[in-house]
Chain A
Amino acid sequence: SQTIHQWPATLVQPVGSPLSLECTVEGTSNPNLYWYRQAAGRGLQLLFYSVGIGQISSEVPQNLSASRPQDRQFILSSKKLLLSDSGFYLCAWRRDRGFNSPLHFGNGTRLTVT
């Protein structure tokens, strides 16, 4: 069966420090991978998605970047964190972009920028 791992679970970082969040998927090959952010409240904001190694699409311009160095690894980074980067970051995968292919989420990383 497929599993998705995200770490760390919580992170407290000072403003201006770098960031690296990692996500890996097991049990499937060539998944579509996603990074979402959930700010205070409930809504989900799509940040990046990737349909293959080295292929990254950005949905919103911001202080963050993403990379996919291996088929099942997706990394979210920042060179200098802002206070506004605080939030709950969720990684997710899909088998493909078929119309009935569901998203499967990790357990998230709670980031607090101080």
Chain B
Amino acid sequence: GDSVTQMEGPVTLSEEAFLTINCTYTATGYPSLFWYVQYPGEGLQLLLKATKADDKGSNKGFEATYRKETTSFHLEKGSVQVSDSAVYFCALSYYGQNFVFGPGTRLSVLP
């Protein structure tokens, strides 16, 4: 079946460091890909999405590119802030199907 794999962390970085959170997927077709962020005690918020190969989603300084050849959708940010500390979820969706989420990656950014 379809699945999403991501580094489970925790990932600990210093403020202004470069961030990469890896996400790879297994799918029988060509899904849409999403990144969600969950701040402590809150629900998940959509961070960005991409709907076809080579699309780049971006929001709030975060970026991810849909790579069909490597079945990946890695999340990147050039300079993280303490306020970026959260859990990040990678997910995929097909037409007519429910979302498939990865296990989440906890990010801690130290001042």
Contact = CB atoms under 8 A, between A and B. Distances in A.
Contact of B45 (A43, A99, A105): A105
Given A42-B104, A43-B104, A103 B43 contact: no
B34 A102 contact: yes
B43 A108 contact: yes
A97 B46 contact: no
B42 A108 contact: yes
Given A99-B32, A99-B51, A102-B49, A107 B99 contact: no
Contact of A42 (B32, B94, B98, B103): B103
A100 B45 contact: no
A100 B51 contact: yes
30 contacts: A42-B106, A43-B104, A44-B44, A44-B89, A44-B104, A46-B98, A59-B98, A90-B43, A92-B44, A97-B96, A97-B97, A97-B98, A98-B95, A99-B31, A99-B32, A99-B94, A100-B32, A100-B49, A100-B51, A100-B93, A102-B34, A102-B46, A103-B36, A103-B44, A103-B46, A104-B46, A105-B36, A108-B41, A108-B42, A110-B41
Interface of B: 31-32, 34, 36, 38, 41-46, 49, 51, 87, 89, 91, 93-99, 101, 103-104, 106
